[in-house]
């Protein structure tokens, strides 16, 4: 295994990420430089456009799942096939959980610089953006829409508790139509899983994997409070969500969803679009190291 000595590594970091640490960012940069890489440091976040360095040989995303999503989209649009890695500093870090990788900055730099084979992961295109782990429309997406960025920045996951209480108090049920391979499914909430993890160490589709080009879809025929609580309880206790009564589960590579209202679409922890929306596997995977 050869090193990347003399090559350029672009570190793209998000200062607004839930666990952003200047000290770890400095250590990560030092880890790459100690192994012979030239490092370009770039910032991303709300209102900041990501530009991939023209000479970068590797891109390291430092942040949460939203950061990974935006960096991967920038790579997909840059016109070059570039490997990327994820150093977690977000609130949940679903994509990084798939790797079972080291959290120490120097260990992360060392693994990247060894140029191991890595893993190819398929992203999902949703309208004009993408995601890797999971998307949803329903109580979860309304919770993300109600999330206070200020509370999230200062209190991390506790901000989600505040948001979900708001959603539980002002509960809504909307009819949604999913169209897939000539089939129409009516539901009140649905989930599109590409990766194994959802909202932390739990799994809404236990057979889903980032490296397998397949979407796992769960549609809730009814999304009453008790239906949502039953789903959450199944996740917390490790039961298969696709085996619950009132859940329609299937796999596909593309689907569209629409509703009378412009319901928000949550993708990897961010509001990424509104219905109507199309979900489709991107044909070219992104290499992660």
pLDDT in tens, 108-137: 999 888 877 788 999 999 999 999 999 999
Residues of the chain with CATH 2.60.200.40: 129-288
Fold (topology level) of 129-288: Tumour Suppressor Smad4 (2.60.200)
Mean of all residue pLDDT scores within the chain: 91
Among the ranges given (100-114, 214-228, 273-287), the one the predictor scored with the smallest mean pLDDT: 100-114
| pLDDT tens column, 134-183 | 999 999 999 999 987 777 777 777 888 888 899 999 999 999 999 999 99
How far is it, in rounded angstroms, from Cα 213 to Cα 227?
29
CATH 3.40.50.10330 positions along the chain are: 8-116
> How many percent of the chain have pLDDT more than 70?
97
Q: Considering only residues 163 and 99, tell me which one the structure prediction assigns the higher pLDDT.
A: 163
* CATH code reported for the domain at 8-116: 3.40.50.10330
| Mean pLDDT to the nearest integer, 216-223 | 98
Is residue 115 classed exposed, middle or buried when 0-12, 13-18 and 19+ CB atoms within 10 A define those classes?
middle
Instruction: Give 47-82 pLDDT, tens digit per residue.
Output: 788 999 999 999 999 998 999 999 999 999 998 989
- For residue 3, pLDDT beyond 70: no
């Amino acid at each position: 295994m050869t090193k990347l000595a003399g090559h350029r590594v672009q570190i793209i970091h998000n200062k607004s990420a839930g666990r952003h640490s200047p000290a770890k960012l400095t250590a990560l940069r030092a880890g790459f430089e100690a192994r012979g890489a030239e490092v370009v440091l770039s910032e991303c976040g709300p209102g900041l456009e990501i530009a991939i360095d023209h000479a970068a040989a590797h891109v390291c995303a430092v942040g949460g799942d939203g950061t990974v999503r935006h960096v991967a989209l920038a790579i997909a649009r840059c016109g070059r096939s570039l490997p990327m890695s994820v150093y977690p500093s977000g609130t949940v870090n679903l994509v990084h959980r798939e790797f079972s990788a080291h959290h120490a900055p120097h260990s992360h730099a060392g693994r990247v610089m060894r140029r191991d084979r890595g893993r190819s992961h398929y992203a999902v295109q949703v309208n004009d953006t993408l995601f890797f782990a999971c998307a949803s429309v329903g109580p979860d997406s309304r919770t993300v829409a109600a999330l206070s960025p200020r509370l999230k920045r200062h209190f991390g996951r506790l901000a989600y508790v505040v948001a979900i209480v708001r959603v539980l108090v002002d509960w809504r049920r909307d009819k949604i139509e999913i169209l897939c391979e000539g089939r129409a499914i009516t539901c009140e909430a649905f989930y599109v899983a590409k990766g194994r993890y959802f909202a932390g160490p739990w799994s809404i589709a236990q057979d889903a994997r980032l490296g397998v080009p397949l979407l796992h879809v769960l549609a809730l025929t009814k999304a009453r409070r008790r239906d949502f609580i039953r789903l959450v309880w199944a996740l917390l206790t490790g039961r298969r969500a696709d085996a619950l009564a009132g859940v329609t589960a299937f796999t596909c590579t593309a689907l569209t969803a629409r509703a009378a209202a412009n319901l928000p679409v949550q993708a990897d922890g961010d509001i990424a679009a509104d219905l109507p929306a199309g979900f489709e596997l991107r044909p070219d995977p992104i290499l992660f190291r």
